[in-house]
């Protein structure tokens, strides 16, 4: 928890510095996109099988100066089916709000490299749709919230001054999850393609 607190303090300071730079030389942007999400965290039970890949989406906005900026994003990581003997017994999903510092650099005419570092405020939801084990009632829903670190790398292609397409790989580590009274953590990775408007 101390590491998260230190990361949060560093991020807050960096966000203030990025905001000042963005206001000084400033470009604002908004975007939305979707893609594939990988995780082994749909279920903690070794005798169940879960989908390894789901389809997720994100919406985001931010401000950036010459190189540094800040971004706020909402992520939905899709839904994972949890199966026992090839029968769906439950479904899990994850969503997150992420404030992040962003670094951007032109590396070729019309192309931009992006990197980001943030803190993910996550909510994991697990819903039992049939009998999930002895003593576990049907339609049991468990929610678990938490904080985890997030980093991302990406490339953008500027078709015009105001329109950009982005490809991003974003990693969310040690996401807090729970099924009934069993708590656990797992990582999520998202590859997405987004359309972005620059102002």
pLDDT value of residue 138: 53
Q: Say which residue, 136 or 100, is predicted with more confidence.
A: 100
**C-alpha span between 54 and 80 (Å, rounded):** 6
Average pLDDT over residues 69-79: 95
| Spatial CB neighbours of 81, under 8 Å, sequence gap ≥ 6 | 42, 50, 51, 88, 90, 91
- Would you say residue 21 has pLDDT above 70? no
- 62 versus 135: the higher-pLDDT residue is 62
- pLDDT score, position 15: 52
Q: Would the pLDDT of 6 be above 70?
A: no
Q: In the predicted model, is pLDDT for residue 79 greater than 90? A: no
Stated as kind and residue range, the H or E segment containing 30 is strand 27-38
Bridge partners for 198 per DSSP:
29
pLDDT band at 105 (very low <50, low <70, confident <90, very high): very high
Name beta bridge partners: 18.
none
Q: What is the pLDDT of residues 156-170, one digit of tens each?
A: 999 998 999 999 999
Alpha carbon 4 to chain centroid distance? 17
The pLDDT of residue 1? 46
List helix spans (H) across the chain: 2-25
In whole angstroms, what separates CA 82 from the centre of its chain?
21
Surface-to-core class of residue 61, CB atoms within 10 Å of its CB (0-12 exposed, 13-18 middle, 19+ buried)? middle
Mean pLDDT of 24-44: 81
Give the global pTM. 0.82
Q: Which of 73-82, 89-98, 141-150, 177-186 has the lowest mean pLDDT?
A: 177-186
pLDDT at 154: 97
């Amino acid at each position: 928890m101390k590491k998260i607190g230190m990361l949060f303090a560093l991020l807050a300071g960096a966000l203030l510095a990025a905001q000042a730079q963005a206001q000084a030389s400033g470009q604002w942007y908004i975007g939305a996109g979707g893609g594939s999400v990988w995780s082994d965290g749909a279920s903690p039970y070794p005798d169940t099988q879960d989908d390894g890949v789901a389809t997720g989406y994100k919406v985001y906005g931010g401000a950036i100066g010459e190189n540094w900026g800040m971004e706020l994003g909402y992520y939905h990581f899709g839904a994972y089916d949890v199966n026992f003997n090839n029968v769906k017994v439950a479904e899990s999903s994850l969503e997150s709000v992420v404030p992040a510092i962003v670094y951007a650099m032109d590396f070729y005419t019309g192309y931009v490299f992006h990197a980001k570092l943030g803190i993910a405020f996550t909510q994991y939801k697990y819903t039992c749709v049939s009998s999930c084990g002895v003593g576990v009632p049907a339609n049991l829903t468990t929610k678990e919230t938490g904080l985890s670190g997030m980093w991302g790398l990406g490339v953008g292609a500027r078709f015009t001054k105001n329109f950009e397409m982005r490809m991003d790989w974003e990693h969310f580590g040690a996401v807090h999850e729970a099924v009934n009274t069993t708590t656990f953590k797992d990582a999520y990775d998202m590859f997405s393609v987004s359309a972005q408007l620059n102002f």
